[in-house]
Structure 1
Amino acid sequence: MAEQLSTLHGFVSGKVQGVWFRAFTQQQALAANVCGWAKNLSDGRVEFMLSGAADDLLAVCKALHQGPEHARVDRVDVETLAYKELSGFQIR
């Protein structure tokens, strides 16, 4: 049976800028074989898009709820989209 592929789009709120959150997201994604991107928004949130196998996406999302050492994650809003093929992981 083929793995279920999915794409997640979301936003992380809290103290998530200036604490290496995007690099942390990239590190977690690459370790889980997930592609995508992360970028800072002007309102202080980090936006992300992740594509990969459902179990791998779940692992990355769990990590995003914790964040790196100096981050404070208040909220993670995620929506599941139709699978979109992405390559690598970009910090925007």
Structure 2
Amino acid sequence: MTSRVIVHAVIKGRVQGVGYRAWTAREAGARGLAGWVRNRREGFVEAVFAGPADAVEAMLAACRAGPLGARVEAIERYDETGSALAPGGAADGFTVLPTE
């Protein structure tokens, strides 16, 4: 059995205006992950993914490509605790949050 992990990802590049948040929510949901995604005014996307380690790693790998039209230049990864899920409002399900 794979252990549950929580990862905060900061995704930089051409990731706004290309449907990256909606794509992330669909992909994370398909992998059974909890968490959230949002645009940042600074021009990047941030997301928190929680679930089995292999599913989170697969999600991060998918984020390197992103949706059609995205150009990911870098992903910063930070291991987190359960408190990182708080902005999404719940420890299960995946939420698209407003820009912050």
Q: TM-score, normalised by structure 2?
A: 0.85
Give runs of aligned pairs for residues 69-84 of structure 1, distance below 5 A: 69-82=68-81, 84=82
Q: Which has the higher strand share?
A: 1
Rounded to whole Å, the distance in 2 between the matches of 1:80 and 1:90 is: 19
Tell whether 2:72 aligns with 1:67.
no
Rounded to whole Å, the distance in 2 between the matches of 1:49 and 1:23 is: 14
Instruction: Give CA deviations for 1:51-79 in whole Å, capped at 9, x if unaligned.
Output: 00000001100000000011010000011
How many residues are treated as equivalent by the alignment?
A: 90
Rounded to whole Å, the distance in 1 between the matches of 2:79 and 2:52 is: 12
**Corresponding residue SS for 1:66:** coil
Aligned-residue offset at 1:18: 0.6
- Alignment correspondent of 2:96: 91
Rounded to whole Å, the distance in 2 between the matches of 1:87 and 1:30 is: 10
- Alignment correspondent of 2:3: 4
Rounded to whole Å, the distance in 2 between the matches of 1:74 and 1:36 is: 22
Rounded to whole Å, the distance in 1 between the matches of 2:92 and 2:3 is: 17
Mark the runs of 5 or more structure 2 residues left unpaired by the alignment: 86-90
Aligned identity (percent) is 32
Rounded to whole Å, the distance in 1 between the matches of 2:37 and 2:52 is: 18
Deviating 4+ runs (over 3 angstroms): none
Aligned-residue offset at 1:3: 2.5
- Alignment correspondent of 2:34: 35
Q: TM-score, normalised by structure 1?
A: 0.92
Give runs of aligned pairs for residues 34-53 of structure 1, distance below 5 A: 34-53=33-52
